[in-house]
Structures are given as C-alpha cells and as structure tokens.
Amino acid sequence: MKWYFIQTKSGHVTVALKRMAGEVLLHSKYDPVKEAKRWVDQWEIEKHSPKKILVIGLGVGYHLKQLIQDFPHIPVMVWEFNPEYVEWLKNSCRLQDLAGEIQLCVSDEWIEIRTKLLPFLDDPETMVLLHSPSLELIPEKLTSLKELLENHVQFLRTIRRHADQLDYNFNLNVSLNDAGISQWKDTLGNKAAILVSAGPSLTKQLPILADIHKKGSITLACVGTALQPLLNYGINPDIVMVSDPQDNIKEQFIKINHMEPSLFYLATANHKAVADYLGPRFIVWQKGFDKSELQAELRGESLIQTGGSVATCLLDLLVWMGCKKIALVGQDLAFSNGYSHAEGTHGVREVHMENLIKIPDYYQQGKIGTSKNLFVYLKWFERYSRSLIRNVELWNCTEGGAFIHGWIHKSLQQFVNFE
C-alpha cells in the first residue's frame, strides 16, 4: 500500500492511497475542513452526552481538530492500526496541532487491540465514532477487525436512530410498575439452562426439546420469536424474553392465551407487546441506557448487558440467575439452508446468499453466509465467553449455523446426557 499528499481545491492537502483497485482519498478533494464539520455534526454528540469519545481512524486529522474545537470538554481517544502510516504523518509534521489534545493509540497487533481497544466498544460511557475512509489503511492481516468495526458502528447507528422510540417505550413500561429481577438472583444456581432462539435449525431440535420439557430438570428459556414454534410443538418454556422496541414484536404473542411463561422484557422493549402480555412480567434494566441505569440505582436492581439482540440479553440474564451450564439452540447466527428463521415464526423468509459475509460453519468443515448484524452478534458471543468472571460452561448446541470461538460445540443430546 502506498500513500501520498495531494492538493485539494480549498488549498488544504488530503492523502491518497494507491491500491490495486484504484486510488482512495482519506478526505475530500474539494474542502476537507467543511467535510470535517459535516462528519462531526452527523453523530449528534451533544444529544448523547458521552463521557469519552473513541475515534477509529486518524486520517490527516481534520475531523479530530473539528471534534476538539466543538467538544473541548470531552476526552478523545484515537485508534489507528497502521504504524507505518502514523510515523510518516508525524515526520510530515501533520499531527502537531493535535499534540496533547488527543490520546493516540497505534497498533497492528491483535492481542494488544483485543485487550486495549475492544472493551471500549462495549463501554456505555464511551461514544464510538468511525472515520470510514481511514479503514482503508488497515493492513490485510487485520481484515476481520475492519469488518468488526464497520459492523459495530452500523449497529450503534441503528440504536441511535431508534432513540425516540426507546424513550417512548421506556416511559410507558415504567408506568406499568412491574417487578424487577432482583427476586430471581441466583434462583437457577447450579442448574442447566437452554437458551432457545428462532434460527432455521430450531425446527430439527424440537423433538429433543420436547423430551427435555417433559423431564423438567433443565430450564428452558426462549426469545420471543421462538415462543410460537415451541408452543406449537407442545413445549411451554419457563422463561421468554423480548427486547425489540418495534411494534411488530406484538405478533410473537398472537394466539397465546394460556400457560404463559414468565416474561422478562427490556425496559425499552415495545410497550404494546409488553402491556398485552397475559402472564407474569418482570422488567429488566439494561446497561448503557441512562434512564434505565438511573431507575436500577433508585430501585436497587441489577443491570443486564444488552449486546444488541434479545438472545445476548437473555444469555447475560441466565448467567446472572446463576446457571452453571447454558446451551444455545437455534442460534444460527447465519442463514442456514437459505432461511432467516425457523418454520412457524412470524419473521421467516428466504434469503439470497449472494454478497453475504462468509464465516466458518458450525462443524468447521466449510463456510456459511451471514449478515452484518448477525456477524456483530457472533463477535459479541465470542467476547462474552472471554469476559465471563464466574465459572459457567457455554455450549453451542445449535447443530447448524456459525461456529462460535470459545464455546463448546457438541450436540443437544450430549448436553442433556452430561447433565
């Protein structure tokens, strides 16, 4: 990879990267300063009031100068993954204006990046901003990091886009005055649990889950989308959880009017679906949402990690409840056999496999296609297994879909036999 300065129409310089696929510019070829202003404004930083800002990508620093000018009171950390480029920029005297204004971290070593950078991605007090053109500087050996960062920031954008709906649901859910989760602390101590999701592979696991349900020795917890397929097969789970703020999750509870399991819902989950639920309800306060954290503190309740999906929420909840062994079923994290969900779910659809991200399959014998969102959740499950403080066995018994590094990969029947 080669790079060099070129003059822009405004008189400022930008950097061009020369690659096999052609030339890529790190900043506008017309006016990098105006572009930097637009880059900062798009994040609506004032609205989110972060205590720290993490910027991925150094560029030539125009965006960082604007950021510091607009928000001088917020500490800024910058990560760049091409040491050779940073050294070249320093020798070109292009970073002098930023000296002492930012914390610059430079590394192309996976271990250092994993231990020092990745924890900030899950830190609710840190706002992560991405300077997308700078990702072109990432060395080939860190290609998976590039994908992770792109997907993570896309995920954060989605969360921010739904901020108004989260507030709306939160305020109405609080008004329900449902009990929190404190009474459930360690109630599943030394027990095993199965977390049932609604991926395409769930359908073939239903007969085994039915046998497990009859014996009753293992806790069955499911996400809202998986509830209908389980009930259709005569399986009444112990726990169901919802977290999505959108109205369409109401469909998950259609035709359910008997033997409802306990519903655990994120404080920002869709209010209409929660309010219409006929069984016992428990509100779950999540990390990373200021109002939720305040309510948890006022009520003496614990906080649960969200991870971005209902399955990641439910996993952290089960660990908090004290489970010693947890198995994933139907957590494909990919489009197994070209489908999005299991048969009988309200969201099932066929998926075109072109242009999907290819990842190792469950048996590590080939590749399987997944989306950007599912890839982010996959990485969350992998980070979660590494960050666990208490001794919990994490099994992936999905028997299809994606391989999850750090998890035990054995069949659901083996999980039951070991219990």
pLDDT at 288: 76
pLDDT-based confidence at 257, cuts 50/70/90? low
Point out the least confidently predicted range of 85-94, 117-126, 169-178, 374-383. Answer: 117-126
Report yes or no: 250 and 232 within 8 Å, Cβ to Cβ.
no
Q: Averaged over 192-202, what is the pLDDT?
A: 94
Task: Give the DSSP letter of residue 363.
Answer: T
In the block, tokens 């108004």 appear at 164
Residue 300 has pLDDT above 80, yes or no: yes
Please determine, for residue 119, whether its predicted confidence score (pLDDT) is greater than 90: no
Say how many C-beta atoms besides its own lie within 10 A of residue 356's C-beta: 18
Q: What is the mean pLDDT of residues 299-312?
A: 91
For residue 173, give both structure tokens: 């859910």
135-to-138, 146, 282, 350 alpha-carbon distances in Å: 5, 6, 42, 32
Is the pLDDT at 355 greater than 70? The verdict is: no
For position 291, what pLDDT does the model report? Answer: 87
Quick check: 151 pLDDT over 90?
no
Which tens digits make up the pLDDT trace of 63-74? Answer: 999 999 999 999
Label residue 337 by pLDDT band (50, 70, 90). Answer: confident
The mean pLDDT of 210-234, rounded to a whole number, is 93
The share of the chain scoring above pLDDT 70, in percent, equals 92
User: 256 — phi, psi (to 5°)?
Assistant: -105, 110
Residue 165's Cα: distance from chain center in Å? 19
Instruction: Calculate mean pLDDT across residues 138-146.
Output: 84
Question: CA-CA distance, 89 to 228, in Å (whole number)?
Answer: 57
* Phi, psi angles (nearest 5°) of residue 83: -60, -35
Rounded Cα distance, 349 and 327, in Å: 25
Single-letter residue type at 167 = D
pLDDT the model gives residue 189: 84
Look up residue 32 and give its two tokens: 């990098």
pLDDT at 347: 67
Confidence tier at 173 by pLDDT (50, 70, 90):
very high
226 neighbors 328 (Cβ within 8 angstroms):
no
Q: Residues 379, 392: contact at Cβ < 8 Å?
A: no
pLDDT tens digit sequence for 3-44: 999 999 999 999 999 876 678 899 999 999 999 999 999 888
CA angle 31, 75, 48 (to 5 degrees): 80
**What pLDDT shows up at residue 325?**
95
Cα distance between residue 195 and residue 310, in whole Å: 11
pLDDT, residue 60, reads 95
Query: What band does 146 get if pLDDT is binned at 50, 70 and 90?
Result: confident
Nearest to 416, CA basis, from 189, 220, 222, 198: 220
Q: What is the mean pLDDT of residues 398-405?
A: 92
What is the structure's pLDDT at 417? Answer: 87
Taking only the tens place, the pLDDT of each residue in 313-326 is 999 999 999 999 99
Q: What does the pLDDT look like over 63-106, one tens digit per residue?
A: 999 999 999 999 999 999 999 999 999 999 888 888 889 999 99
pLDDT tens, 230-252? 998 999 999 999 999 988 888 88
List the one residue out of 122, 134, 130, 66 whose CA is nearest residue 98: 66
Q: What is the pLDDT of residue 392?
A: 93
DSSP 261: P
> Is pLDDT of 196 > 90?
yes
User: Residue-wise over 81-91: b if at least 16 C-beta within 10 A, else e?
Assistant: bbeebbeebee
Q: Indicate the average pLDDT of the chain.
A: 88
Q: What pairing do the DSSP bridges indicate for beta strands 76-80 and 103-106?
A: parallel
In Å, what is the CA distance from 342 to each residue of 8, 77, 230, 349? 53, 43, 11, 9
